Structure 1
Amino acid sequence: MKRLDWTLIVVAICVLPAAVAAPFFVGYYTSEVLILFMINLILVCSYRILTTTGDWSLSHVVMMGVGAYATAMLTKHLGLSILLTVPLSACIAALVGLLMVIPLIRTRGFGFFIASFALGEFVRLVWVKFREPFGGPRGMIGIPSGELGSIDFFDPLPYYFFVLTVALICLFVMYRLDRSRIGKTFKAIYTDEGLAESIGIDVPHYRALAFVTGTFFAGVAGSLLAHRLGAIDPKAFDVNTMVYLIIWIVVGGAATFWGPIIGLVVMTFAFEWSRPLLEWRPLLFGGILIFFLVALPGGLEGLLSTIRDRLVPKRRPAEAAAKEAGE
């Protein structure tokens, strides 16, 4: 079994029991923070799918908003169950992502970055301008929290376990995608797009696939968020929120599947710690972003890799060959 597969097993053994036991030992506020953390976990890992091809989008939070608005309309106007609204909202987000990526695929680098912001703002301003059916600048309220038989998800405990289950499924699928041939193709495009094209890889197709796949899981996160909050506001999906998502990625790193998760964990603690410093928070987080871009461009995962390499030095080729000959 591959080394990272063992890492997945170790993480599951260590984290899963703690995640299952956590809501029984914490208060109401902490339970809500943990629910939001798991939703953000889906979001940040879905954004990494885009970055593996080298595309950094400024519209990913808007795609989360598409999932949230889709959930609001599906529940309020059609009365669908939460078991249907979550996957359907994700599919709607993926469809919007597909329409957006058609013009985006013609751009690269900074052009992709700015064009994605423009298209994302177009979608968000549609929500602001049209009171029907999007509620205008006030957003939408009265979104049902959802029920599953006799279980009412308004109570944070059952909703916590519902979100935990959905998050584990999403993370497992994204992890397997990252380790699959498709995931390796994404990384090959990022490493050398010209070389990837020369060996027959359809680069535009795979870039579009990464974008749409990422928006699908962002739609899942948006749907879960809408059900929990019971209301959505278009301001919650603006560029300011997008900056937090980028900070999570930069702090943790995007080279491995675990980097964004590390960044989210660290910045969630920083976010909660800085609540008394609300006015100073943008300055604090801006300083953190600049520090990591300058001093640790690989993020915390790069720092951990450096420490590991120094503690466990790599075997020289001659030593490795001698050992294999001896065996």
Structure 2
Amino acid sequence: MPEKTTMGGAGLIGILILAVVLIAVPHLVSFSQQELLVLLTINVLVVVSYRLQTLTGEWSLAHVVMMGAGAYGSALFAKSFGFPVPLAMIAGAITAGLIAAALSFPLFRMKGFYFLIGSFAAGEILRLIWKRFTDPFGGPKGIQRIPGFPEIDLGFIHIDFYDPANYYYLVLVVVLVSLWVLYRVEKSRIGLTFNAIHWQDKLSESVGVDAFRYRMLAFVIASFFAGLAGALYAHYLSTVNPNQFDVNTMVYVLIWTIVGGTSRWYGPILGVVALTIVDEVILRSIGVDQVRPLLYGLILILAILFLPNGLESVVIKAKDALLNRGRAGVPDGSAALRK
């Protein structure tokens, strides 16, 4: 009992420290780093939603395109149909989910490597449609002058979301709520079914689980939240184009996820945060963006060789070491009774 109380207190302290850091960090960095912080927070939602897709055992190459579907959908709803930006963002996310549902019927006739290639083909078809049709998608230049999030003016307080620090707080709230929903889905019966399909799909089907329906559900949920991330991205940059959602971007999402690890929900978060810091510290000092693929490739190889379970394995080992240390300091009650 004392051990649980100690760990609970330590966990609460850790959450409070993290909350203070998340609130304070925009005021401790430069303007350009504030913009990077906004994009990093959006990318956190991208990788965590992608991990939900991988729970069923299927790795998709269309996740970034689903993010693009949300971005294009939200931009069109806001600019062409006059939707308020918050409503346009939700509509864009729903659009991404509906597209994922439609793609599920051909894609989930395949598994494993074939699903991976099929998802890449489906994503490229969508991206080429955006590039081909100037009306309504803007062609290769995409959609520009997308309406931003409206200012809040209550007299005693004025919030301008063109300020990256203010937009960061907006994105942070949306992402934290989304992460909580994704966490609850994973820990629910639905999430346990996703894992069962991953490891024993034939056995799951033999006891009445509809594997197609659950794979489709994971794809739709993951695409919805990827679309929401895309909507946040579009209304921050005020422009979207097909090149922002190409296979090169998808490769970075894969590397963030693999380097972070996928056995814990926080694994991809560790990956995207760590590699974004590497981007900022190393690549900015070098000043050559062409080095980025080489550096990422090297990091991926080293991670596979020395951290096959990702950065999350380091956290798990550290946590186990702290637990063992705490147990070592607790007197053995049975030994005292024997005396």
Please list every run of 5 or more consecutive structure 1 residues that lacks an aligned counterpart in the other structure.
315-321
Distance 1:197 1:5, change over 3 A: farther
Of 284, 290, 313, the match for 2:295:
284
Q: Which residue of 1 aligns with 2:57?
A: 54
Distance 1:192 1:5, change over 3 A: farther
Whether the 8 Å contact between 2:107 and 2:119 is mirrored in structure 1 is yes
Q: Which residue of 1 aligns with 2:146?
A: 143
Cα RMSD for the two superposed structures: 2.6
Cα distance in 1 for residues equivalent to 2:10 and 2:305: 29
Describe the superposition over 1:80-127 as per-residue Cα deviations: whole angstroms up to 9, x where unpaired.
222211211110110011111111111110011000000000000000
Cα distance in 1 for residues equivalent to 2:122 and 2:273: 30
Cα distance in 1 for residues equivalent to 2:220 and 2:12: 28
Cα distance in 1 for residues equivalent to 2:297 and 2:196: 31
Of 157, 163, 166, the match for 1:155:
163
Describe the superposition over 1:231-269 as per-residue Cα deviations: whole angstroms up to 9, x where unpaired.
112111000000000011110100010111111111111
Q: Secondary structure at the match of 2:311?
A: helix
Distance 1:96 1:252, change over 3 A: same
Amino acid at match of 1:152: D
Cα distance in 1 for residues equivalent to 2:292 and 2:86: 37
Amino acid at match of 1:30: Q
Amino acid at match of 1:246: L
The higher radius of gyration belongs to 2
Amino acid at match of 1:282: P
Shift of residue 197, structure 1, vs aligned partner: 1.7
Amino acid at match of 2:296: F
Shift of residue 195, structure 1, vs aligned partner: 2.0
Distance 1:310 1:11, change over 3 A: closer
Amino acid at match of 2:58: D
Describe the superposition over 1:43-71 as per-residue Cα deviations: whole angstroms up to 9, x where unpaired.
11000000111010000000000011111
Q: Which residue of 1 aligns with 2:194?
A: 186
Cα distance in 1 for residues equivalent to 2:300 and 2:188: 31
Greater mean deviation of Cα atoms: 51-60 or 155-164: 155-164
Shift of residue 155, structure 1, vs aligned partner: 2.1
Shift of residue 12, structure 1, vs aligned partner: 3.2
Distance 1:6 1:212, change over 3 A: farther
Cα distance in 2 for residues equivalent to 1:209 and 1:65: 19
TM-score, normalised with respect to structure 1: 0.90
Q: Which residue of 1 aligns with 2:306?
A: 295
Amino acid at match of 2:74: T
Q: Which residue of 1 aligns with 2:329?
A: none
Greater mean deviation of Cα atoms: 49-58 or 145-154: 145-154
Amino acid at match of 2:45: I
Q: Secondary structure at the match of 1:153?
A: coil
Distance 1:149 1:57, change over 3 A: same
Describe the superposition over 1:268-301 as per-residue Cα deviations: whole angstroms up to 9, x where unpaired.
1111121323222111111111222233221111
Q: How many residues align?
A: 319
Tell me, yes or no, if structure 1 residue 18 matches structure 2 residue 21.
yes
Q: Which residue of 2 aligns with 1:125?
A: 128
Cα distance in 1 for residues equivalent to 2:49 and 2:8: 19
Greater mean deviation of Cα atoms: 214-223 or 30-39: 30-39
Of 69, 84, 87, the match for 2:87:
84
Amino acid at match of 1:53: T
Q: Secondary structure at the match of 2:289?
A: helix
